[in-house]
Structure 1
Protein backbone atom coordinates (compact mmCIF):
# COMPACT_ATOMS: atom_id res chain seq x y z
CA UNK A 1 0.00 0.00 0.00
CA UNK A 2 1.63 3.25 -1.17
CA UNK A 3 -0.50 5.49 1.02
CA UNK A 4 -3.38 5.64 3.45
CA UNK A 5 -5.12 8.43 5.36
CA UNK A 6 -8.03 8.37 7.79
CA UNK A 7 -9.84 10.93 9.90
CA UNK A 8 -12.91 13.15 9.78
CA UNK A 9 -14.43 15.32 7.08
CA UNK A 10 -17.12 18.00 6.81
CA UNK A 11 -18.47 20.07 3.95
CA UNK A 12 -20.92 22.77 2.97
CA UNK A 13 -22.20 23.69 -0.46
CA UNK A 14 -24.43 26.33 -2.02
CA UNK A 15 -27.33 23.97 -2.75
CA UNK A 16 -30.43 24.13 -0.61
CA UNK A 17 -30.78 21.12 1.65
CA UNK A 18 -30.74 18.31 0.42
CA UNK A 19 -28.14 18.72 -2.33
CA UNK A 20 -29.45 16.95 -5.47
CA UNK A 21 -25.94 15.80 -6.41
CA UNK A 22 -26.19 13.15 -3.69
CA UNK A 23 -29.42 11.41 -4.59
CA UNK A 24 -29.06 11.76 -8.38
CA UNK A 25 -25.52 10.34 -8.56
CA UNK A 26 -24.18 13.73 -9.76
CA UNK A 27 -26.73 13.95 -12.59
CA UNK A 28 -29.07 16.48 -10.96
CA UNK A 29 -28.89 20.20 -11.63
CA UNK A 30 -27.65 22.09 -8.54
CA UNK A 31 -30.38 24.18 -6.94
CA UNK A 32 -28.53 27.42 -7.80
CA UNK A 33 -27.60 26.25 -11.31
CA UNK A 34 -23.96 25.75 -10.35
CA UNK A 35 -22.36 23.91 -7.45
CA UNK A 36 -19.83 25.45 -5.08
CA UNK A 37 -18.52 23.21 -2.31
CA UNK A 38 -15.74 23.08 0.25
CA UNK A 39 -14.70 19.68 1.62
CA UNK A 40 -12.55 19.96 4.75
CA UNK A 41 -10.53 16.89 5.77
CA UNK A 42 -8.71 16.32 9.05
CA UNK A 43 -6.14 13.55 8.80
CA UNK A 44 -5.85 11.82 12.17
CA UNK A 45 -3.48 9.14 10.90
CA UNK A 46 -1.83 8.69 7.54
CA UNK A 47 1.29 8.43 5.41
CA UNK A 48 2.38 8.34 1.78
CA UNK A 49 5.61 6.77 0.57
CA UNK A 50 7.05 6.97 4.06
CA UNK A 51 5.98 10.60 4.64
CA UNK A 52 3.82 10.99 7.74
CA UNK A 53 0.60 12.95 7.21
CA UNK A 54 -0.67 12.67 10.79
CA UNK A 55 -2.49 15.79 11.95
CA UNK A 56 -2.54 17.60 8.59
CA UNK A 57 -5.72 19.45 7.61
CA UNK A 58 -6.65 20.30 4.03
CA UNK A 59 -9.63 21.55 2.03
CA UNK A 60 -10.80 20.63 -1.46
CA UNK A 61 -12.67 23.51 -3.10
CA UNK A 62 -14.73 22.80 -6.19
CA UNK A 63 -17.19 24.40 -8.56
CA UNK A 64 -19.23 22.93 -11.41
CA UNK A 65 -21.11 25.10 -13.89
CA UNK A 66 -24.04 22.65 -13.99
CA UNK A 67 -24.59 19.04 -12.94
CA UNK A 68 -21.36 17.72 -11.43
CA UNK A 69 -21.57 14.61 -13.59
CA UNK A 70 -21.30 16.79 -16.71
CA UNK A 71 -17.68 17.52 -15.80
CA UNK A 72 -15.58 20.62 -16.44
CA UNK A 73 -15.25 21.24 -12.71
CA UNK A 74 -12.77 23.71 -11.22
CA UNK A 75 -10.89 22.28 -8.24
CA UNK A 76 -8.44 23.98 -5.88
CA UNK A 77 -6.61 22.77 -2.79
CA UNK A 78 -5.87 24.55 0.48
CA UNK A 79 -3.31 22.83 2.72
CA UNK A 80 -2.46 23.77 6.29
CA UNK A 81 0.54 26.09 6.46
CA UNK A 82 2.14 23.82 9.07
CA UNK A 83 2.61 21.11 6.41
CA UNK A 84 6.03 20.68 4.83
CA UNK A 85 6.53 20.95 1.08
CA UNK A 86 6.83 17.16 0.92
CA UNK A 87 3.55 16.74 2.80
CA UNK A 88 1.82 19.26 0.51
CA UNK A 89 3.05 17.33 -2.52
CA UNK A 90 1.71 14.08 -1.06
CA UNK A 91 -1.68 15.55 -0.22
CA UNK A 92 -1.86 17.15 -3.66
CA UNK A 93 -1.39 13.77 -5.31
CA UNK A 94 -4.04 12.20 -3.09
CA UNK A 95 -6.60 15.00 -3.35
CA UNK A 96 -6.28 15.29 -7.15
CA UNK A 97 -6.70 11.56 -7.67
CA UNK A 98 -3.26 11.32 -9.28
CA UNK A 99 -2.24 8.82 -6.60
CA UNK A 100 -5.35 6.72 -7.12
CA UNK A 101 -7.89 6.12 -4.40
CA UNK A 102 -11.44 7.53 -4.10
CA UNK A 103 -10.67 10.93 -5.64
CA UNK A 104 -9.50 9.25 -8.83
CA UNK A 105 -13.14 8.60 -9.73
CA UNK A 106 -13.76 12.35 -9.82
CA UNK A 107 -10.59 13.18 -11.77
CA UNK A 108 -12.22 12.74 -15.22
CA UNK A 109 -14.80 15.36 -14.23
CA UNK A 110 -12.17 18.02 -13.47
CA UNK A 111 -11.57 20.52 -16.24
CA UNK A 112 -9.25 22.86 -14.33
CA UNK A 113 -6.90 22.37 -11.40
CA UNK A 114 -6.79 25.88 -9.99
CA UNK A 115 -3.73 25.42 -7.81
CA UNK A 116 -2.71 25.09 -4.17
CA UNK A 117 -2.91 27.69 -1.42
CA UNK A 118 -1.25 27.50 2.01
CA UNK A 119 -3.16 28.83 5.01
CA UNK A 120 -3.72 27.87 8.63
CA UNK A 121 -6.52 25.33 8.23
CA UNK A 122 -8.64 24.73 11.32
CA UNK A 123 -11.25 21.99 11.58
CA UNK A 124 -13.20 21.89 14.84
CA UNK A 125 -15.97 19.73 16.26
CA UNK A 126 -18.38 20.35 19.14
CA UNK A 127 -20.99 17.63 19.41
CA UNK A 128 -23.00 17.66 16.17
CA UNK A 129 -21.47 20.95 15.00
CA UNK A 130 -18.46 21.06 12.68
CA UNK A 131 -16.55 24.07 11.41
CA UNK A 132 -13.58 24.74 9.16
CA UNK A 133 -11.61 27.85 8.28
CA UNK A 134 -8.64 28.78 6.11
CA UNK A 135 -7.70 32.42 6.62
CA UNK A 136 -9.64 34.73 4.33
CA UNK A 137 -10.35 31.92 1.85
CA UNK A 138 -12.93 29.88 3.75
CA UNK A 139 -15.16 30.01 6.81
CA UNK A 140 -17.79 27.27 7.02
CA UNK A 141 -19.85 25.44 9.64
CA UNK A 142 -22.64 22.89 9.69
CA UNK A 143 -24.93 21.36 12.28
CA UNK A 144 -26.14 17.77 12.14
CA UNK A 145 -29.87 17.12 11.88
CA UNK A 146 -31.14 15.12 14.85
CA UNK A 147 -33.51 12.19 14.54
CA UNK A 148 -36.22 13.15 17.02
CA UNK A 149 -37.40 9.54 17.29
CA UNK A 150 -34.05 8.28 18.56
CA UNK A 151 -32.12 11.23 20.01
CA UNK A 152 -29.23 11.92 20.05
CA UNK A 153 -28.82 9.95 16.83
CA UNK A 154 -28.39 11.92 13.63
CA UNK A 155 -30.28 11.59 10.39
CA UNK A 156 -28.05 10.18 7.67
CA UNK A 157 -28.16 9.13 4.04
CA UNK A 158 -26.82 5.67 3.23
CA UNK A 159 -25.30 3.84 0.23
CA UNK A 160 -24.30 7.03 -1.56
CA UNK A 161 -21.61 7.38 -4.24
CA UNK A 162 -19.48 9.94 -2.41
CA UNK A 163 -15.67 9.83 -2.24
CA UNK A 164 -15.55 10.36 1.53
CA UNK A 165 -17.99 7.76 2.79
CA UNK A 166 -21.03 5.78 1.63
CA UNK A 167 -22.88 7.02 4.73
CA UNK A 168 -23.10 10.78 5.36
CA UNK A 169 -24.68 12.63 8.26
CA UNK A 170 -27.30 15.14 7.09
CA UNK A 171 -26.56 18.68 8.20
CA UNK A 172 -27.56 22.26 7.58
CA UNK A 173 -24.86 24.75 6.71
CA UNK A 174 -25.02 27.44 9.37
CA UNK A 175 -22.15 29.41 7.81
CA UNK A 176 -20.65 29.04 4.36
CA UNK A 177 -18.25 31.71 3.10
CA UNK A 178 -15.89 30.88 0.23
CA UNK A 179 -13.56 33.13 -1.73
CA UNK A 180 -10.80 31.13 -3.35
CA UNK A 181 -9.77 30.01 -6.85
CA UNK A 182 -12.53 32.21 -8.31
CA UNK A 183 -15.13 30.32 -6.24
CA UNK A 184 -17.24 32.79 -4.27
CA UNK A 185 -20.20 32.14 -1.99
CA UNK A 186 -21.49 33.73 1.22
CA UNK A 187 -24.53 32.43 3.09
CA UNK A 188 -25.65 32.15 6.69
CA UNK A 189 -29.38 31.48 6.27
CA UNK A 190 -29.25 27.94 7.65
CA UNK A 191 -31.06 26.64 4.56
CA UNK A 192 -28.05 25.21 2.69
CA UNK A 193 -26.58 21.74 2.56
CA UNK A 194 -23.90 20.18 4.72
CA UNK A 195 -22.47 16.74 5.54
CA UNK A 196 -19.88 15.14 7.77
CA UNK A 197 -18.48 11.63 8.24
CA UNK A 198 -15.35 9.69 9.11
CA UNK A 199 -13.22 8.72 6.12
CA UNK A 200 -10.51 6.18 5.29
CA UNK A 201 -8.69 6.38 1.97
CA UNK A 202 -5.88 4.31 0.53
CA UNK A 203 -4.12 3.74 -2.75
Structure 2
Protein backbone atom coordinates (compact mmCIF):
# COMPACT_ATOMS: atom_id res chain seq x y z
CA UNK A 1 0.00 0.00 0.00
CA UNK A 2 1.32 3.45 -0.89
CA UNK A 3 1.89 5.86 2.01
CA UNK A 4 -0.23 8.99 1.73
CA UNK A 5 -1.32 12.12 3.57
CA UNK A 6 -3.86 14.85 2.95
CA UNK A 7 -4.58 18.21 4.56
CA UNK A 8 -7.16 20.83 3.71
CA UNK A 9 -10.66 21.93 4.61
CA UNK A 10 -13.96 20.12 4.73
CA UNK A 11 -17.61 20.90 5.34
CA UNK A 12 -20.84 18.99 5.69
CA UNK A 13 -24.48 19.94 5.34
CA UNK A 14 -27.46 17.80 6.28
CA UNK A 15 -31.20 17.87 6.91
CA UNK A 16 -30.93 17.92 10.73
CA UNK A 17 -31.59 21.01 12.79
CA UNK A 18 -28.44 22.80 13.95
CA UNK A 19 -26.50 21.49 15.72
CA UNK A 20 -26.76 18.02 14.21
CA UNK A 21 -27.41 15.32 16.88
CA UNK A 22 -25.86 12.61 14.68
CA UNK A 23 -22.35 13.68 15.66
CA UNK A 24 -23.18 12.72 19.25
CA UNK A 25 -24.51 9.32 18.00
CA UNK A 26 -28.10 10.46 18.69
CA UNK A 27 -30.97 9.91 16.22
CA UNK A 28 -31.28 12.49 13.41
CA UNK A 29 -33.92 15.15 13.99
CA UNK A 30 -36.06 13.94 11.08
CA UNK A 31 -35.53 10.20 11.66
CA UNK A 32 -33.10 9.91 8.74
CA UNK A 33 -30.00 11.77 7.66
CA UNK A 34 -29.45 13.21 4.19
CA UNK A 35 -26.01 14.76 4.01
CA UNK A 36 -23.33 16.09 1.72
CA UNK A 37 -19.71 15.96 2.86
CA UNK A 38 -17.10 17.79 0.79
CA UNK A 39 -13.31 17.99 1.04
CA UNK A 40 -10.80 20.33 -0.59
CA UNK A 41 -7.22 19.06 -0.52
CA UNK A 42 -4.75 21.90 -0.06
CA UNK A 43 -1.75 19.58 0.17
CA UNK A 44 -1.77 15.88 -0.50
CA UNK A 45 0.29 13.02 -1.85
CA UNK A 46 -0.35 9.33 -2.49
CA UNK A 47 2.93 7.53 -3.06
CA UNK A 48 4.50 9.79 -5.69
CA UNK A 49 1.19 11.23 -6.92
CA UNK A 50 0.42 14.80 -5.81
CA UNK A 51 -3.20 15.57 -4.95
CA UNK A 52 -3.00 19.31 -4.26
CA UNK A 53 -6.06 21.35 -5.20
CA UNK A 54 -8.46 18.46 -5.80
CA UNK A 55 -11.98 18.01 -4.39
CA UNK A 56 -14.03 15.01 -3.27
CA UNK A 57 -17.62 14.80 -2.05
CA UNK A 58 -19.97 12.15 -0.71
CA UNK A 59 -23.76 12.25 -0.67
CA UNK A 60 -24.93 10.14 2.26
CA UNK A 61 -28.32 8.74 3.20
CA UNK A 62 -28.69 7.02 6.57
CA UNK A 63 -32.19 5.65 7.29
CA UNK A 64 -31.79 6.06 11.06
CA UNK A 65 -29.15 6.71 13.71
CA UNK A 66 -25.92 6.92 11.74
CA UNK A 67 -23.90 4.55 13.91
CA UNK A 68 -26.70 1.96 13.99
CA UNK A 69 -27.70 1.82 10.32
CA UNK A 70 -25.73 1.32 7.12
CA UNK A 71 -25.38 4.27 4.78
CA UNK A 72 -26.16 4.58 1.10
CA UNK A 73 -23.49 6.72 -0.52
CA UNK A 74 -22.76 8.38 -3.86
CA UNK A 75 -19.18 9.55 -4.44
CA UNK A 76 -18.05 12.49 -6.56
CA UNK A 77 -14.46 13.00 -7.67
CA UNK A 78 -12.90 16.09 -9.21
CA UNK A 79 -12.77 15.84 -12.99
CA UNK A 80 -9.49 17.80 -12.95
CA UNK A 81 -7.78 14.69 -11.55
CA UNK A 82 -5.48 12.70 -13.84
CA UNK A 83 -5.95 8.94 -14.11
CA UNK A 84 -3.32 8.37 -11.40
CA UNK A 85 -4.84 11.02 -9.14
CA UNK A 86 -8.32 9.59 -9.67
CA UNK A 87 -7.10 6.12 -8.72
CA UNK A 88 -5.49 7.57 -5.59
CA UNK A 89 -8.64 9.42 -4.53
CA UNK A 90 -10.75 6.29 -5.07
CA UNK A 91 -8.33 4.23 -2.97
CA UNK A 92 -8.24 6.76 -0.11
CA UNK A 93 -11.90 7.81 0.06
CA UNK A 94 -13.11 4.31 -0.77
CA UNK A 95 -11.45 3.15 2.45
CA UNK A 96 -8.95 0.82 0.78
CA UNK A 97 -5.85 2.79 1.80
CA UNK A 98 -6.36 2.97 5.57
CA UNK A 99 -6.49 6.04 7.76
CA UNK A 100 -9.67 7.81 8.90
CA UNK A 101 -11.42 7.47 5.51
CA UNK A 102 -11.38 3.69 6.09
CA UNK A 103 -13.24 4.27 9.38
CA UNK A 104 -15.87 6.33 7.56
CA UNK A 105 -16.14 3.73 4.79
CA UNK A 106 -16.94 1.06 7.39
CA UNK A 107 -20.37 2.67 7.84
CA UNK A 108 -21.27 2.30 4.15
CA UNK A 109 -23.72 -0.44 3.28
CA UNK A 110 -24.29 0.42 -0.39
CA UNK A 111 -22.35 2.51 -2.88
CA UNK A 112 -25.02 3.69 -5.30
CA UNK A 113 -22.54 5.22 -7.73
CA UNK A 114 -19.36 7.21 -8.31
CA UNK A 115 -18.69 9.94 -10.86
CA UNK A 116 -15.95 12.26 -12.03
CA UNK A 117 -17.54 15.70 -12.18
CA UNK A 118 -16.62 19.39 -12.36
CA UNK A 119 -16.53 20.71 -8.79
CA UNK A 120 -16.21 24.24 -7.42
CA UNK A 121 -15.33 24.34 -3.72
CA UNK A 122 -15.02 27.65 -1.85
CA UNK A 123 -14.17 28.23 1.82
CA UNK A 124 -13.28 31.48 3.57
CA UNK A 125 -13.55 30.52 7.23
CA UNK A 126 -17.11 31.81 7.69
CA UNK A 127 -18.70 30.30 4.59
CA UNK A 128 -18.18 27.10 2.65
CA UNK A 129 -19.82 25.96 -0.55
CA UNK A 130 -19.71 23.24 -3.16
CA UNK A 131 -21.17 23.34 -6.65
CA UNK A 132 -21.48 20.31 -8.92
CA UNK A 133 -23.34 21.63 -11.99
CA UNK A 134 -26.57 19.78 -12.64
CA UNK A 135 -26.09 17.62 -9.54
CA UNK A 136 -25.65 19.48 -6.25
CA UNK A 137 -25.38 22.87 -4.59
CA UNK A 138 -24.47 23.23 -0.93
CA UNK A 139 -23.79 26.48 0.91
CA UNK A 140 -23.29 26.91 4.66
CA UNK A 141 -22.41 29.87 6.87
CA UNK A 142 -21.00 29.99 10.40
CA UNK A 143 -23.48 30.56 13.21
CA UNK A 144 -22.51 33.38 15.56
CA UNK A 145 -21.89 32.56 19.18
CA UNK A 146 -20.89 34.73 22.13
CA UNK A 147 -19.41 38.01 21.01
CA UNK A 148 -20.28 37.09 17.39
CA UNK A 149 -17.50 34.50 17.48
CA UNK A 150 -17.72 30.96 16.12
CA UNK A 151 -19.46 28.12 17.96
CA UNK A 152 -17.21 25.08 17.97
CA UNK A 153 -17.63 21.43 18.93
CA UNK A 154 -14.63 19.29 19.84
CA UNK A 155 -14.28 15.63 20.72
CA UNK A 156 -17.59 14.52 19.21
CA UNK A 157 -17.63 10.76 18.60
CA UNK A 158 -18.87 10.72 15.00
CA UNK A 159 -16.56 13.13 13.22
CA UNK A 160 -15.19 13.72 9.76
CA UNK A 161 -12.02 15.45 10.97
CA UNK A 162 -10.63 13.85 14.16
CA UNK A 163 -8.63 16.16 16.38
CA UNK A 164 -10.07 19.29 14.80
CA UNK A 165 -12.82 21.38 16.44
CA UNK A 166 -15.78 21.78 14.09
CA UNK A 167 -17.41 25.16 13.56
CA UNK A 168 -21.21 25.03 13.73
CA UNK A 169 -22.96 26.44 10.67
CA UNK A 170 -26.35 26.57 8.99
CA UNK A 171 -27.12 25.98 5.33
CA UNK A 172 -28.40 28.75 3.11
CA UNK A 173 -28.94 26.16 0.40
CA UNK A 174 -28.61 22.41 0.01
CA UNK A 175 -29.92 20.67 -3.07
CA UNK A 176 -29.03 17.37 -4.72
CA UNK A 177 -30.67 15.64 -7.66
CA UNK A 178 -28.95 12.38 -8.58
CA UNK A 179 -29.31 8.60 -8.26
CA UNK A 180 -33.02 8.97 -7.55
CA UNK A 181 -32.43 11.36 -4.65
CA UNK A 182 -34.17 14.74 -4.84
CA UNK A 183 -33.09 16.74 -1.80
CA UNK A 184 -33.83 20.43 -1.45
CA UNK A 185 -33.76 22.28 1.85
CA UNK A 186 -32.08 25.16 3.63
CA UNK A 187 -31.73 26.53 7.14
CA UNK A 188 -30.43 23.19 8.41
CA UNK A 189 -27.26 21.92 10.08
CA UNK A 190 -23.73 22.41 8.82
CA UNK A 191 -20.20 21.89 10.14
CA UNK A 192 -16.78 22.90 8.82
CA UNK A 193 -13.14 22.65 9.82
CA UNK A 194 -9.66 21.83 8.69
CA UNK A 195 -8.79 18.17 8.28
CA UNK A 196 -5.61 16.10 8.20
CA UNK A 197 -5.57 12.44 7.22
CA UNK A 198 -2.71 9.98 6.77
CA UNK A 199 -2.21 6.33 5.97
CA UNK A 200 -0.65 5.69 9.40
| Pairing partner for 1:165 from 162, 166, 183 | 162
Q: How does 1:105-184 map to 2 (within 5 A)?
A: 105-149=103-147, 151=148, 153-161=149-157, 162-166=159-163, 167-184=165-182
Structure 2 distance, partners of 1:37, 1:117, is 17
**Are the equivalent residues in 1 in contact too, given 2:93–2:105 (CA < 8 A)?**
no
Structure 2 distance, partners of 1:174, 1:103, is 27
List runs of 5+ in structure 2 lacking aligned partners: none
SS of residue paired to 2:182:
strand
Structure 2 distance, partners of 1:176, 1:94, is 26
1:73 to partner: Cα distance? 0.8
| Pairing partner for 1:197 from 193, 196, 200 | 193
For 2:99, the equivalent position in structure 1 comes to 101
- TM-score by length of structure 2 reads 0.92
For 2:3, the equivalent position in structure 1 comes to 2
**Are the equivalent residues in 1 in contact too, given 2:143–2:151 (CA < 8 A)?**
yes
What CA deviation, in whole Å up to 9, does each residue of 1:33-62 have, x standing for no partner?
Answer: 211111110000001121110110111111
1:129 to partner: Cα distance? 1.3
What CA deviation, in whole Å up to 9, does each residue of 1:165-203 have, x standing for no partner?
Answer: 341000011111012333331013x2x100100000000
- TM-score by length of structure 1 reads 0.90
SS of residue paired to 1:86:
helix
CA change 1:71–1:106 in 2 (3 A) is farther
Structure 1 distance, partners of 2:129, 2:87, is 25
List runs of 5+ in structure 1 lacking aligned partners: none
Structure 2 distance, partners of 1:30, 1:160, is 15
For 2:15, the equivalent position in structure 1 comes to 14
Aligned length: 196
RMSD, matched Cα:
1.5
Structure 2 distance, partners of 1:99, 1:137, is 28
